Chains A and B, each alone.
Chain A
């Protein structure tokens, strides 16, 4: 594999060059935290961020998007709305790359979803190697996501005053040629890369008390575990955990009519299995009324059902966002460990 070197001083010129042709999304500060957002000024880009509040899925499955309009003047005319703009996501962590592999399958399988897929097709990903855990809630080492072999177009690793650049696709190769003022790697660069990579592993700790490959089996035995009732009593059903989750993609569809009554539209909006209405049918029956059942549903999706539905991916990538977001301090690591020992 060809290894290139991008001096850190070349990052702002790269961002400016990309801005001419792409919407550039990257981590930037929002108060004391970070978000993936359009980068206007290259100085805003914070490749040294720890973790973003929302994952980069915001660029591919926006919280709200119009998917269909129906013009009702005369014969109703149905118009799909496929809104995609050429985008470069800068600085995605590898846990988020693994999550995108899951979203890619979810939206492509059986009935391809053009809204997501067209956006995905027009999105390039420049990821960055994590050299230390984001914070105490990260458990990417357990989930096998603290590095990635694929899923990126270019992949950066911080080696001090420069980044090494791995090319992951032909589109990445073209990106490298056109927008990055890089140079060939020399032996000293390779040594620095190897040092950085070997130094990173001990900084991450295992936090699950078992191998994550056992999760589906452990969950299968824990369907009636008392912990779901306990979590149900604590959960406020606010849906923060699912909003921030990089592998949550459930959605609602909302139809509405223009005031003029001649144009209808269908909006897709993030939805959450944690909300009371989620499984309620028009007749009033609610198939997951208890918060305990909704909590169990989320943990089973993360630990078992998603990885069984899609190939070679985990339903949870260990980013820890749901732990940080939960006002009731529901902790996915503690939960998985608790059902293991019981």
Chain B
């Protein structure tokens, strides 16, 4: 009789916990025996707090910066994430995965890249952005348009500063509402698009954010003439298995956990449930 189960997590260790904002923390996680997660940018893991529950979380660290660990950027929003936020370095969490189809690097090589993360949508995109920056010469322009609700909700402030300082990254950031200390752009993410011109045929665009954001960001991307097959999105769904069985993540006939979470706009544009 077999004694392995696809639903049995590996008990991993939190090696570092760093608050990023009021609601988000960055968790650095080590698998048993320092084993590599072996993920692609855009993939996710099922993260479990024993006795509490399990939730799909996108991997925010780049495979190029693994060092035997990986990172999850998690907002405190449900039972599992609230329990996770109460944990400190040294605590054990369950990990299954990595699962799903991430961002395909091959069709991006040699192309200009336009990243447009909104809010927590930066978490999965950061994995890809840092991978790209670690192989910088393989890509054309790197343009990052990042929007958040308030300055206090900007994630990875140190890395944002690095991106802004680099000559080979065109970085623009905006907040919906500023505060006294904020000197930068104010307005929703779409207000950043007029700041850049792109060669649409040679550009791959990537976005992730709250559902409400997609419609407007996609209009901007399509408006710049970027082909539907060159626009990538990462979608969020409820998941209970991560492996195409439990049915929760279905978007019509697509399984977000297996066919996604990364889709091209061409794949999902005719599916009303997708966005």
Interface of A with B (CB < 8 Å)?
A: 67-68, 70, 72, 75-76, 78-82, 84, 106-107, 109-115, 118, 223, 249-258, 261, 264-266, 268, 271, 273, 278-283, 285, 287-288, 293, 297, 300, 304-305, 308-309
- Give min CB distance, A108 to chain B, whole Å: 10
The answer to whether A78 touches B8, judged by C-beta atoms less than 8 angstroms apart, is yes
Query: DSSP class of B's interface residues: helix, strand, loop or mixed?
Result: loop
Q: Is B9 an interface residue (CB 8 A)?
A: yes
The answer to whether A255 touches B7, judged by C-beta atoms less than 8 angstroms apart, is no
The answer to whether B246 touches A251, judged by C-beta atoms less than 8 angstroms apart, is yes
The answer to whether A115 touches B5, judged by C-beta atoms less than 8 angstroms apart, is yes
Of A118, A250, A283, A308, the residue contacting B1 (CB under 8 A) is: A118
- Give min CB distance, B268 to chain A, whole Å: 12
- Give min CB distance, A120 to chain B, whole Å: 12
A111 to B210, CA, bound (A): 30
- Give min CB distance, A31 to chain B, whole Å: 31
Interface of B with A (CB < 8 Å)?
A: 1-11, 48-55, 75, 77-81, 92, 94, 210-211, 236-238, 240-241, 243-248, 250-253, 258, 272-273
Query: 7 smallest A-B Cβ distances: which pairs?
Result: A257-B51, A282-B78, A250-B247, A80-B5, A264-B51, A264-B50, A111-B243
A300 to B10, CA, bound (A): 36
Q: Which residue of A lies closest to B271 (CB)?
A: A223
The answer to whether B238 touches A255, judged by C-beta atoms less than 8 angstroms apart, is no
Known: A255-B48, A257-B50, A300-B252. A281 touches B237 (CB 8 A): yes
Inter-chain contacts of A266 with B (CB < 8 A): 7, 48, 54
- Give min CB distance, A316 to chain B, whole Å: 15
- Give min CB distance, B33 to chain A, whole Å: 13
The answer to whether A114 touches B253, judged by C-beta atoms less than 8 angstroms apart, is no
Known: A300-B252, A304-B253. A112 touches B51 (CB 8 A): no
The answer to whether B51 touches A255, judged by C-beta atoms less than 8 angstroms apart, is yes
| Complex A-B: 22 CB contacts under 8 Å | A67-B5, A76-B11, A76-B50, A80-B5, A80-B7, A82-B2, A111-B6, A111-B243, A113-B245, A114-B2, A250-B248, A256-B51, A257-B50, A258-B51, A281-B238, A282-B55, A282-B78, A282-B81, A283-B236, A287-B273, A297-B252, A305-B250
The answer to whether A253 touches B273, judged by C-beta atoms less than 8 angstroms apart, is no
Q: Which residue of B lies closest to A273 (CB)?
A: B247
Known: A80-B8, A82-B2, A282-B78. A251 touches B54 (CB 8 A): no
Inter-chain contacts of B10 with A (CB < 8 A): 78
Inter-chain contacts of B92 with A (CB < 8 A): 76
The answer to whether B245 touches A251, judged by C-beta atoms less than 8 angstroms apart, is yes
The answer to whether A249 touches B245, judged by C-beta atoms less than 8 angstroms apart, is yes
Of B3, B52, B240, B273, the residue contacting A271 (CB under 8 A) is: B240
Q: Which residue of A lies closest to B82 (CB)?
A: A282
Inter-chain contacts of B7 with A (CB < 8 A): 67-68, 80, 115, 253, 266, 268
Inter-chain contacts of B211 with A (CB < 8 A): 285
The answer to whether B246 touches A253, judged by C-beta atoms less than 8 angstroms apart, is yes
Q: Which residue of A lies closest to B235 (CB)?
A: A287
Inter-chain contacts of B75 with A (CB < 8 A): 283
Of B3, B8, B245, the residue contacting A107 (CB under 8 A) is: B245
Of B2, B248, B258, the residue contacting A279 (CB under 8 A) is: B248
- Give min CB distance, B193 to chain A, whole Å: 24
Inter-chain contacts of B272 with A (CB < 8 A): 223
Inter-chain contacts of A113 with B (CB < 8 A): 6, 245
The answer to whether A281 touches B54, judged by C-beta atoms less than 8 angstroms apart, is no
The answer to whether A82 touches B5, judged by C-beta atoms less than 8 angstroms apart, is yes
Inter-chain contacts of B50 with A (CB < 8 A): 70, 72, 76, 255, 257, 264
Known: A67-B5, A67-B7, A308-B253. A252 touches B51 (CB 8 A): no
The answer to whether A110 touches B248, judged by C-beta atoms less than 8 angstroms apart, is no
The answer to whether A255 touches B52, judged by C-beta atoms less than 8 angstroms apart, is yes
A268 to B246, CA, bound (A): 10
A249 to B241, CA, bound (A): 12
The answer to whether B53 touches A255, judged by C-beta atoms less than 8 angstroms apart, is yes
Known: A80-B8, A257-B51. A278 touches B3 (CB 8 A): no
Inter-chain contacts of A82 with B (CB < 8 A): 1-3, 5
Inter-chain contacts of A70 with B (CB < 8 A): 11, 50-51, 94
Inter-chain contacts of A115 with B (CB < 8 A): 5, 7
The answer to whether B4 touches A293, judged by C-beta atoms less than 8 angstroms apart, is no
Known: A82-B1, A107-B245. A257 touches B55 (CB 8 A): no
Inter-chain contacts of A308 with B (CB < 8 A): 253
Q: Which residue of B lies closest to A277 (CB)?
A: B238
A309 to B236, CA, bound (A): 22
Inter-chain contacts of A255 with B (CB < 8 A): 48-54
- Give min CB distance, B199 to chain A, whole Å: 35
The answer to whether A112 touches B6, judged by C-beta atoms less than 8 angstroms apart, is yes
A69 to B104, CA, bound (A): 36
Of A118, A251, A264, A293, the residue contacting B273 (CB under 8 A) is: A293
A67 to B6, CA, bound (A): 10
Known: A78-B11, A118-B2. A278 touches B238 (CB 8 A): yes
- Best-buried of B10, B11, B75, B245 by chain A (most CB within 10 Å): B245
A251 to B92, CA, bound (A): 26
A81 to B258, CA, bound (A): 25
Excluding A80-B4, A252-B246, 12 further A-B contacts by CB distance (< 8 Å) are A67-B8, A80-B5, A81-B5, A110-B244, A255-B48, A257-B52, A264-B50, A271-B240, A282-B55, A283-B75, A285-B210, A287-B273
Q: Which residue of A lies closest to B48 (CB)?
A: A255
- Give min CB distance, B46 to chain A, whole Å: 9
